[in-house]
Amino acid sequence: MTKQANEEVPDAGGDLAGRHIVLGLSGGIACYKAAELCRSLIKQGASVQVVMTEAAEQFITAVTLQALSGRPVYTSQWDSREANNMAHINLSREADAILVAPCSADFMAKLLHGRADDLLSLMCLARPIDKVPLLIAPAMNREMWAHPATQRNMAQLSSDGATILGVGSGFQACGETGDGRMLEPPELLEDIIAFFTPKVLAGQHVLVTAGPTYEAIDPVRGITNLSSGKMGFAVARAAREAGAQVTLVAGPVSLSTPRGVTRIDVKSAQNMLEAVMQQAPAATVFVATAAVADWRPASSAERKIKKDGSGQAPQLAFTENPDILATLAQSPRGLSGALFCVGFAAESHDLKDNAQAKRRRKGVPLLVGNIGPATFGRDDNALLLLDAQGSRELARASKLSLARQLVAEIASRIKRAG
């Protein structure tokens, strides 16, 4: 049978390629999300072995998970398909990680006390702790989540080495609203990818600017540019994956905040400068991806500027905006290297010459150049890295892939400097 043209297939080069995940389901309505999560893990190149508790089977069938994972689903510690009848040993030894999603309050308590009366809990207890990490995605009613017993259990599980992936907040199946929902599959997928990423920026605080700025002419008009912010958001995500604490200062864009990233929304270049200066003292790396407007109207009209029928356009005077990158690069911490500054240059022509000139003018050790019209709004890009020694090209790829390469480059330079 041939695949349909629009059918999605696993990505052999995906972010989880070569990883084998045991996906455990305990009882809870959030089991329906596990189906999408299983599919998402496979699309990113992972192989997935599903293990379900008896309670989980009340919410979703093993048939569904078998169809999505492409593997028989295990539901009992007495499963005779294993030649030695030791599924709890065999399945755990094959895994790169065990992910329990959803993890009910009852199952968390069971893990805490080392109980092992079903296959999933038995497997979690029997896993080699130093080789097979345990990831937990809690899912429960808001009152159950807030209960001191649950919070104690969660703290102790974390102390025992488990990774708690957190919960979402919102409307719950019981009709109440609050914390305790299992994270959505895309959020969990992002956290799992981050979990497996080498933490080359651990201990660093990365400050990133992204998107355009908007310079008001009057209450309804302004000057901006075509930057989508996607490159800066990708850098923020990649830095967080690499273990950094990340603060993202974003101009007016419609993008979701990367998981684990602190976001500050701004509008104008002046707003962005003020936000950056407030955050800079705590930062160790500054990546200026934002396409900041070079000029702004000298004054903004309080009311909409109306046509008067004369055919004459209004006369606008402009003033230069502050240079955010140069301000930080030429600050005492920038000059000393305590704040490693990376600039971006979006050019329309003569990329290498213009970008290198900008690097020298700004006084930054590393500048990233790209052709603006060829990347604005797109999901891919091609970059040119420039420093005092010359330049190096990063071939066209997804912006997230390029962001990860850039983060690795920054981490390498910081390590060498240290």
At 332, list the tokens.
Answer: 């005492």
Given this model, what pLDDT does residue 172 score?
82
At 151, list the tokens.
Answer: 């919070």
Given this model, what pLDDT does residue 11 score?
64
Given this model, what pLDDT does residue 377 score?
79
At 282, list the tokens.
Answer: 């705590």
**Residues labelled as active-site residues:** 174
Give the count of beta carbons closer than 10 Å to the beta carbon of residue 388.
9
Task: Give yes or no for residue 5 having a pLDDT over 70.
Answer: no
Q: Which DSSP string corresponds to 236-248?
A: HHHHHHTT-EEEE
Instruction: Give the pLDDT band (50/70/90) at residue 10.
Output: low
Rounded mean pLDDT of the chain?
A: 92
Task: For residue 146, give every residue at least 6 positions away whose Cβ sits within 8 Å of its Cβ, in sequence order, or none.
Answer: 178, 179, 180
Report d(CA 297, CA 73) in Å as an integer: 64
Report which residue type is found at 234.
A
At 264, list the tokens.
Answer: 């500050």
Task: Give yes or no for residue 401 having a pLDDT over 90.
Answer: yes
Q: Where are the domains of the chain?
A: 20-196, 205-297+317-417
pLDDT digits (tens, 9 = 90+) for 228-264: 999 999 999 999 999 999 999 999 999 999 999 999 9
pTM: 0.89
Report which residue type is found at 158.
S
Task: Give yes or no for residue 335 having a pLDDT over 70.
Answer: yes
Angle formed by the axes of helices 62-69 and 31-43, nearest 10°: 10
Identical fold between 20-196 and 205-297+317-417: yes
Q: What percent of the chain has pLDDT over 70?
A: 97
Report which residue type is found at 78.
W
Segment 219-223 mean pLDDT: 92
pLDDT digits (tens, 9 = 90+) for 119-158: 999 999 999 999 999 999 999 999 999 999 999 999 999 9
Bigger pLDDT: 199 vs 173: 199
Q: What percent of the chain has pLDDT over 90?
A: 74
Instruction: Give the pLDDT band (50/70/90) at residue 17.
Output: very high
Segment 374-397 mean pLDDT: 88
Task: Give yes or no for residue 6 having a pLDDT over 80.
Answer: no
Decide yes or no: CATH 3.40.50.1950 for domain 20-196: yes
Q: Domain 205-297+317-417 class? A: alpha beta
Report d(CA 67, CA 153) in Å as an integer: 34
SS3 content of the chain, % helix, strand, coil (to 5): 35, 25, 40
SS3 313: coil
Report d(CA 414, CA 339) in Å as an integer: 10
